[in-house]
Amino acid sequence: MGYRKEVPAGCFTFEPLTKTGTNESKELRSGPTLTFGLFSCKGVSYYQIYKTKSSTITTTTDKSMRYEDSQCRIDYNLWADKGNAGFTFYNKTEETIHILLDESFYVLNGMAYDYYQNRSFTTSQATVLQTSSSLGLAKMSWLSLYNSASKTTTTGNTNAVTVTEAKVIAVPPKTARVVSEFEINRTLFRDCELVLYPSSRQVKARNFSEEDSPLKFYNIISYKVGTDEAVLKVKNDFYVSEIMNYPEKDVTKTVRTEFCNVKSTAVSRIFTASAPDKFYLHYVKPSNGGSRN
């Protein structure tokens, strides 16, 4: 799991990728626009952008896709390179909600993956202490001779802390927790209707229904409210409804950052096509050319 596979034209394969760190190691992005540095790699950049739909999401804004019931509010923002299947869970009740990771799953094209993976995370810090001293002084009549010998001593130790992954995440009343574990897809979709390295005139959409979508995924989130032993489950499902290939200039623009009405000299490139119900794959046309299709 996690390796890129070569995909023949007309085929579509997916592999969920576990992000490094704990379930809360990476926060969902708060807005639909992602700022990133200029790419230094050789070649021309392109983006394959995926649009999704959902039958269980009740509200979509420019910041998130939202599921909501009397107990909780769950927000998604899929916009990221390779997609972000994670979510922000908000507790609407007056009691602590416990998310049961060992009973929660990410499902991609019918294959289930565990949110709880019984991992341990170790961080270490090394401390080095170095001391030095000079020895020796001799005097003879009017001639002073300074004979010295230096000695350096180095000592060190390493402190390590190991944290075991929790099976349960507690969400206090009126607060939120982020659970972000899986990317959605890292393999380009190839199709005869989609030019791999299109010009602006060649950009077109490949549309799908829920039945023939090449990519369907959903989260099953299990939780308990307060001391109640009843396990509640939420299923948030998604499917890819549209795929398009774009040259970089069609979906990004260059801007200067601004603070207190003062523009910076630093230049960044931002997306103009971002949205919480979309995600993308960045790919590069080699500088030596390559096939247009």
Per-residue model confidence as pLDDT tens digits over 36-86:
444 444 689 999 999 999 999 989 999 999 999 999 999 999 999 999 999
Contact 188, 7 (CB under 8 A): yes
Residue 218 tokens, joined:
């959903």
Most confident of 13-27, 55-69, 233-247, 257-271: 233-247
Those residues with Cβ within 8 angstroms of residue 143's Cβ, 6 or more apart along the chain or in another chain = none
Asked if residues 128 and 235 have their Cβ atoms less than 8 Å apart, the reply is no
**Closest to 83 measured CA to CA, from 59, 110, 65, 61:** 65
Beta-carbon contacts of residue 112 (< 8 Å; ≥ 6 apart): 105, 106
β-pairing, 87-91 with 176-179?
A: antiparallel
When computed from its CA atoms, the radius of gyration of the chain, rounded to whole angstroms, is: 27
* 232 contacts 225 by C-beta, under 8 angstroms: yes
To which H or E segment does residue 249 belong?
A: helix 248-251
Mean pLDDT of 234-240: 98
Q: What is the mean pLDDT of residues 85-96?
A: 98
How far, in Å, CA of 238 to CA of 243, rounded?
14
pLDDT for 129: 65
SS3 percent helix, strand, coil of the chain, rounded to 5, is 5, 50, 45
Structure tokens at 102: 């060992």
User: Which of 7-21, 183-197, 247-261 is the most confident on average?
Assistant: 183-197
**Rounded to whole angstroms, how far apart are CA atoms 166 and 117?**
9
pLDDT digits (tens, 9 = 90+) for 170-214: 999 999 999 999 999 999 999 999 999 999 999 999 999 999 999
Question: Cα separation of 60 and 70, whole Å?
Answer: 18
Identify the three-state secondary structure at position 49. Answer: strand
Say if pTM beats, i.e. exceeds, 0.85: no
Is residue 109's pLDDT more than 70? Answer: yes
- CA torsion 272-275-281-283 (nearest 10°) is 0
Mean pLDDT of all residues in 107-121 = 93
